[in-house]
Amino acid sequence: MKSFAIKKIDRELELDEPLCAIKGFKYVPKIKNKLEVSEMTIVNPEIINTLVAFSFNKKYKKILELYLLTLQNDDDTTTEGALMQALDEIARLRAIMIRKYEKVLSKKATEKFLKKLKILENEIRAKIVDFKLMQEIEAEEIQEKGKSR
Protein backbone atom coordinates (compact mmCIF):
# COMPACT_ATOMS: atom_id res chain seq x y z
CA MET A 1 0.00 0.00 0.00
CA LYS A 2 1.32 3.42 -0.92
CA SER A 3 1.55 6.18 1.63
CA PHE A 4 1.67 9.87 0.94
CA ALA A 5 3.03 12.80 2.90
CA ILE A 6 1.79 16.36 2.69
CA LYS A 7 4.36 19.11 3.09
CA LYS A 8 3.56 22.75 3.56
CA ILE A 9 5.02 24.95 0.86
CA ASP A 10 5.57 28.62 1.64
CA ARG A 11 4.86 29.82 -1.88
CA GLU A 12 1.58 30.06 -3.71
CA LEU A 13 0.73 27.66 -6.52
CA GLU A 14 -1.74 28.22 -9.30
CA LEU A 15 -3.94 25.68 -10.99
CA ASP A 16 -4.32 25.50 -14.72
CA GLU A 17 -7.98 24.59 -14.35
CA PRO A 18 -10.53 25.98 -11.91
CA LEU A 19 -11.20 23.68 -8.93
CA CYS A 20 -14.75 22.89 -10.02
CA ALA A 21 -13.47 21.59 -13.39
CA ILE A 22 -11.27 18.88 -11.86
CA LYS A 23 -13.00 15.52 -12.08
CA GLY A 24 -12.38 13.27 -9.14
CA PHE A 25 -13.57 12.11 -5.76
CA LYS A 26 -14.35 14.86 -3.27
CA TYR A 27 -13.19 13.85 0.20
CA VAL A 28 -13.79 15.78 3.41
CA PRO A 29 -11.29 14.80 6.11
CA LYS A 30 -12.93 14.23 9.48
CA ILE A 31 -9.82 15.08 11.49
CA LYS A 32 -8.86 18.73 11.66
CA ASN A 33 -5.17 19.25 11.08
CA LYS A 34 -2.69 22.09 10.98
CA LEU A 35 -3.24 22.67 7.29
CA GLU A 36 -6.95 23.33 7.85
CA VAL A 37 -8.02 21.40 4.77
CA SER A 38 -11.77 21.50 4.36
CA GLU A 39 -12.06 19.40 1.20
CA MET A 40 -9.76 17.42 -1.06
CA THR A 41 -10.32 16.31 -4.63
CA ILE A 42 -8.61 13.01 -5.26
CA VAL A 43 -7.96 11.98 -8.83
CA ASN A 44 -5.74 8.91 -8.34
CA PRO A 45 -7.94 5.78 -8.82
CA GLU A 46 -5.89 3.71 -6.36
CA ILE A 47 -6.37 6.22 -3.57
CA ILE A 48 -10.07 6.55 -4.38
CA ASN A 49 -10.53 2.76 -4.25
CA THR A 50 -8.67 2.62 -0.93
CA LEU A 51 -10.75 5.39 0.66
CA VAL A 52 -14.05 3.95 -0.53
CA ALA A 53 -13.02 0.44 0.55
CA PHE A 54 -12.14 1.73 4.02
CA SER A 55 -15.47 3.55 4.32
CA PHE A 56 -17.43 0.57 2.98
CA ASN A 57 -15.69 -1.94 5.25
CA LYS A 58 -16.35 0.20 8.32
CA LYS A 59 -20.08 0.35 7.56
CA TYR A 60 -20.17 -3.32 6.53
CA LYS A 61 -18.58 -4.37 9.85
CA LYS A 62 -21.25 -2.46 11.79
CA ILE A 63 -24.00 -4.32 9.92
CA LEU A 64 -22.19 -7.63 10.44
CA GLU A 65 -21.82 -6.94 14.18
CA LEU A 66 -25.55 -6.19 14.43
CA TYR A 67 -26.30 -9.47 12.66
CA LEU A 68 -23.97 -11.51 14.88
CA LEU A 69 -25.33 -9.92 18.06
CA THR A 70 -28.81 -10.82 16.89
CA LEU A 71 -27.79 -14.46 16.42
CA GLN A 72 -26.38 -14.59 19.96
CA ASN A 73 -29.46 -12.95 21.47
CA ASP A 74 -32.10 -15.33 22.83
CA ASP A 75 -34.88 -12.74 23.07
CA ASP A 76 -37.43 -13.59 20.35
CA THR A 77 -39.12 -10.19 20.34
CA THR A 78 -36.03 -8.22 19.32
CA THR A 79 -34.52 -10.76 16.93
CA GLU A 80 -36.80 -10.12 13.98
CA GLY A 81 -36.65 -6.35 14.46
CA ALA A 82 -32.85 -6.34 14.58
CA LEU A 83 -32.65 -8.49 11.45
CA MET A 84 -35.00 -6.13 9.64
CA GLN A 85 -32.87 -3.19 10.79
CA ALA A 86 -29.79 -4.93 9.36
CA LEU A 87 -31.62 -5.35 6.03
CA ASP A 88 -32.48 -1.65 6.02
CA GLU A 89 -28.84 -0.75 6.64
CA ILE A 90 -27.79 -3.02 3.76
CA ALA A 91 -30.28 -1.32 1.44
CA ARG A 92 -29.02 2.10 2.53
CA LEU A 93 -25.38 1.13 2.00
CA ARG A 94 -26.20 -0.35 -1.42
CA ALA A 95 -27.92 2.88 -2.44
CA ILE A 96 -24.88 4.90 -1.34
CA MET A 97 -22.56 2.61 -3.29
CA ILE A 98 -24.63 2.92 -6.45
CA ARG A 99 -25.47 6.61 -6.23
CA LYS A 100 -22.29 8.11 -4.83
CA TYR A 101 -19.37 5.79 -5.49
CA GLU A 102 -20.23 4.11 -8.79
CA LYS A 103 -19.00 7.14 -10.74
CA VAL A 104 -15.55 7.16 -9.14
CA LEU A 105 -14.92 3.44 -8.54
CA SER A 106 -13.90 0.89 -11.08
CA LYS A 107 -16.65 -1.44 -12.22
CA LYS A 108 -14.84 -4.44 -10.73
CA ALA A 109 -14.58 -2.80 -7.29
CA THR A 110 -18.23 -1.74 -7.34
CA GLU A 111 -19.33 -5.28 -8.23
CA LYS A 112 -17.16 -6.70 -5.43
CA PHE A 113 -18.77 -4.45 -2.81
CA LEU A 114 -22.29 -5.07 -4.07
CA LYS A 115 -21.65 -8.83 -4.12
CA LYS A 116 -20.56 -8.74 -0.45
CA LEU A 117 -23.78 -6.90 0.41
CA LYS A 118 -25.91 -9.37 -1.56
CA ILE A 119 -24.36 -12.37 0.23
CA LEU A 120 -25.02 -10.84 3.65
CA GLU A 121 -28.53 -9.84 2.61
CA ASN A 122 -29.34 -13.39 1.49
CA GLU A 123 -27.99 -14.79 4.77
CA ILE A 124 -30.13 -12.40 6.82
CA ARG A 125 -33.23 -13.14 4.75
CA ALA A 126 -32.68 -16.87 5.33
CA LYS A 127 -32.43 -16.27 9.09
CA ILE A 128 -35.66 -14.26 9.03
CA VAL A 129 -37.43 -17.13 7.27
CA ASP A 130 -35.99 -19.63 9.79
CA PHE A 131 -37.07 -17.39 12.65
CA LYS A 132 -40.64 -17.14 11.32
CA LEU A 133 -40.82 -20.90 10.78
CA MET A 134 -39.66 -21.51 14.35
CA GLN A 135 -42.33 -19.13 15.64
CA GLU A 136 -45.03 -20.96 13.64
CA ILE A 137 -43.86 -24.35 14.95
CA GLU A 138 -43.88 -23.07 18.53
CA ALA A 139 -47.38 -21.63 18.02
CA GLU A 140 -48.63 -24.99 16.67
CA GLU A 141 -47.08 -26.84 19.62
CA ILE A 142 -48.82 -24.51 22.06
CA GLN A 143 -52.15 -25.06 20.28
CA GLU A 144 -51.69 -28.86 20.36
CA LYS A 145 -50.92 -28.78 24.09
CA GLY A 146 -54.05 -26.71 24.66
CA LYS A 147 -56.21 -29.22 22.71
CA SER A 148 -54.81 -32.28 24.50
CA ARG A 149 -55.82 -30.99 27.91
pLDDT band at 72 (very low <50, low <70, confident <90, very high): confident
pLDDT of residue 125: 93
- Please say if the pLDDT value at position 32 is more than 80: no
- Of 59, 81, 93, 75, nearest to 128 by C-alpha is 81
What Å distances lie between residue 19 and 26, 27, 28, 110, CA to CA? 11, 14, 15, 26
**3-state SS class at 51:** helix
SS3 content of the chain, % helix, strand, coil (to 5): 65, 5, 30
Mean pLDDT score, 76-82: 76
- Please say if the pLDDT value at position 84 is more than 70: yes
91-131 pLDDT tens trace? 999 999 999 888 888 888 899 999 999 999 999 999 989 88
Worst-scoring range by mean pLDDT, 5-9, 81-85, 89-93? Answer: 5-9
HSE-CB for 113 with a 13 A CA cutoff: 27
Q: Distance between CA 30 and CA 41 in Å, rounded?
A: 14
- Please say if the pLDDT value at position 78 is more than 90: no
pLDDT band at 89 (very low <50, low <70, confident <90, very high): very high
